[in-house]
Structure 1
Amino acid sequence: MSISSAAPPKPTQVLPYATKDLHEVYTLGTKLGQGQFATTYLCTHNTTGETYACKSIPKNKLLFKEDYDCVWREIRIMQHLSELPKIVKFHDAYEDSFFVHLVMELCEGGELFDRIVQKGYYSEQEAVKLVKNIVEAVQDCHSLGVMHRDLKPENLVFDTVEDDADLKIVDFGLSVFYKPGEIFSDVVGSPYYVAPEVLNKHYGPEADLWSVGVISYIILSGVPPFWADTEKGIFAQISHGILDFQSEPWPVISDSAKDLIRKMLDRNPGKRFTAHQVLSHPWIVDDNIAPNKPLGV
């Protein structure tokens, strides 16, 4: 007699404990952002008047047990990282019959590239500050055994509207805990930013540094290093494309910046720079290397 292996039943709860109704504690306001699986709202604490961001995930989009597990993992990772200064601070989670709500720090300064577009031309020295901030945040994650797996400009936000605002990492929906030497095979991330070894289904935390290399290239030039008209074409460029340092504005960008980009975008993850190596690179540590003149002028 054969026994059929049925799929595990879908749970009804993400959180392993009961919570208050979100609306007893907070009032939801304007929509701040819309993703594939969640909507983020401004929310105000009913007693203190403090404002936060609330990421609301509809449970009807959680189709399998794995989906429930992923949301619970995102919550645990945010709790794990929450005291780090360059990670968005997590406050609390709520759950009802229809939604899971993640209440977190409100970052009012907007996404990285919204700020760059608003600012106009910026200098290579300012680019150094941005890249250093991002890499320090990634190093903090890795030091606590978390791989982000979806680093991109949309997931880097400024905490305030001020010019000297801190850049923080948000959205840990694809993030995982990892142990040294652990290998992952699931292909996740966003097309322009995904590392070649992720496409080959054999990767570790080095993949995050590739994504930072792509972001750094875009900060300096305004375009991604590997692009095409189709996702398949983008992936082919990531696997085999040549880094372009000839087009504008690269001729006026320092050799030190180009050297660091090459080392972050090394296709061999074993040779790719770690966060610590990036932060020790002359372009980051020597104030006299990166020019202070506006790029593109």
Structure 2
Amino acid sequence: MFFTEISESSTDSKEKMCKRKATGDGKASPAKKLKSLDQEEIKCSAKELEAAKICEFKAKYVELHKLGKGGCGTVFAGYRKEDNFPVAIKHIPEMNVPCKVKAENGKQIPMEVAAMLKLAAGTPGSSATVSLLDWFDLPKELILVMERPVPAVNLEQYIEEYAYTITEETAKVILKQLIEAAKELEDKNIFHRDLKTENILIETGSDVPRVRLIDFGVSCFCNERSRYTVFSGTPAYSPPEWMIHEYYRPGPTTVWQLGTVLYKTLHAGAFFDTLYVLEGSLEISERLSENCQDFLKMCFNLDPKRRPKLKDLLRHRWFR
């Protein structure tokens, strides 16, 4: 199902695509000529491999209109030719691929790919994360081909569409799935880093909205002791400990960001910024139940050590 690198050992195709030309005045040493030919062969081999990958991509998928553009790349709608399966195609410039990690086969692969592959290793269909179907690591860009749930909108659009009609019960359904998804990531030592309404898809094809997580562009692997001093994500949703002490940890940060998602879901049209919480000016609507207000306040505790852990969130009385 996943992309396999094309072999670079085809002598025939190299000879067809690479024309070796003598350089200089004819007095170059055999060693220099050999080195020059080797370098030319490597360049031709790289171009040949890139061309083959692009051909494979175009042979398998059709790219349609643009769905959106983020900080790391641009996403287009598309479909798989063999069965018309809807896909999302993400183009990420090489300069925006932050880091690579070593896969089990010893090869270096992009972190976003590694995270999605690890999440896909569980029971098929059980993960809230959209599936990675294919990927093409080219010299100038990384192309990711993912499933595209239809019909679906991101949570930001969902909130705008339903405006002031979203009830606490609907918010509970959405947040419960989000917490479970976040716990799955934690159990697999993956830190999303940028949970927000734009990075959450809501499948709208049934009476009960289904949550899907997208955009692992700034994700990383982590453990219980992980601590970060360089922030990656959306500044408005950064945890207060980052603004005050310039450090943050995966668990408390994820809980903070889940709180921001719930706040925006239940406060249609409201703008959220962590600075409002630090200034004491963030207003939580009094029309919400006391339990819901308490849940939000727990997520927005300025002390990361006093925020609930992911495993404890669903035990809060708001979900009873």
TM-score category of the 2 structures, normalised to the smaller one: 0.7 to 0.9
- C-alpha displacement of 1:142: 0.8
Matched, 1:67 2:110: no
- C-alpha displacement of 1:156: 0.4
Matched, 1:255 2:290: yes
- C-alpha displacement of 1:97: 4.1
- C-alpha displacement of 1:43: 2.1
Q: Aligned partners of 1:145 and 1:187: how far apart in 2?
A: 18
State the partner residue of 2:14. none
**1:207 partner amino acid:** T
State the partner residue of 2:142. 100
SS of the residue 1:29 aligns to: strand
Q: Which has the higher contact order (CA 8 A, sep 6+)?
A: 1
What is the correspondence of 1:39-188 to structure 2 with a 5 Å cutoff?
Answer: 39-59=74-94, 61-62=95-96, 67-69=98-100, 72-82=110-120, 83=122, 84-108=126-150, 109-120=152-163, 121-188=165-232
**1:118 partner amino acid:** E
CA deviation string 1:20-69 (max 9, x = no partner): 6311211111211112331111222222221211111133x44xxx7353
CA deviation string 1:215-255 (max 9, x = no partner): 1112122255754xxxxxxx54343434423xxxx222110
SS of the residue 2:304 aligns to: coil
- Equivalent of residue 276 in structure 1, options 284, 295, 311: 311
CA root-mean-square deviation: 2.5
Given that 2:218 and 2:233 are in contact with CA atoms closer than 8 Å, whether structure 1 keeps it comes out as: yes
Given that 2:174 and 2:209 are in contact with CA atoms closer than 8 Å, whether structure 1 keeps it comes out as: no
**1:93 partner amino acid:** W
State the partner residue of 2:19. none
Gaps of 5+ in 2: 1-45, 102-108
- C-alpha displacement of 1:166: 1.0
Q: Aligned partners of 1:89 and 1:283: how far apart in 2?
A: 31
Matched residues, number? 256
Q: Aligned partners of 1:107 and 1:198: how far apart in 2?
A: 34
- C-alpha displacement of 1:130: 1.4
The structure with the greater share of residues assigned to helix is 2
Relative to structure 1, the CA distance from residue 95 to residue 24 in structure 2 (aligned partners, 3 Å threshold; closer, same or farther) is: farther
State the partner residue of 2:67. 32
Q: Aligned partners of 1:226 and 1:153: how far apart in 2?
A: 11
Given that 1:43 and 1:52 are in contact with CA atoms closer than 8 Å, whether structure 2 keeps it comes out as: yes
Q: Aligned partners of 1:38 and 1:99: how far apart in 2?
A: 10
Report the identity percentage.
Answer: 24
Given that 1:195 and 1:238 are in contact with CA atoms closer than 8 Å, whether structure 2 keeps it comes out as: no
State the partner residue of 1:239. 278
State the partner residue of 1:267. 302
TM-score by length of 2: 0.73
- C-alpha displacement of 1:267: 1.1
State the partner residue of 2:249. 204
Q: Aligned partners of 1:89 and 1:165: how far apart in 2?
A: 18
CA deviation string 1:94-132 (max 9, x = no partner): 133433111111023111121122224122111111111
Q: Aligned partners of 2:58 and 2:216: how far apart in 1?
A: 24
Q: Aligned partners of 1:225 and 1:39: how far apart in 2?
A: 25
State the partner residue of 2:36. none
92-101 or 217-226, which deviates more: 217-226
Relative to structure 1, the CA distance from residue 191 to residue 238 in structure 2 (aligned partners, 3 Å threshold; closer, same or farther) is: farther
Given that 1:152 and 1:211 are in contact with CA atoms closer than 8 Å, whether structure 2 keeps it comes out as: yes
What is the correspondence of 1:286-297 to structure 2 with a 5 Å cutoff?
Answer: 286=320
Q: Aligned partners of 2:167 and 2:157: how far apart in 1?
A: 16
Gaps of 5+ in 1: 1-11, 228-234, 287-297
Q: Aligned partners of 1:111 and 1:91: how far apart in 2?
A: 20
Q: Aligned partners of 2:271 and 2:141: how far apart in 1?
A: 39
Q: Aligned partners of 1:136 and 1:85: how far apart in 2?
A: 9
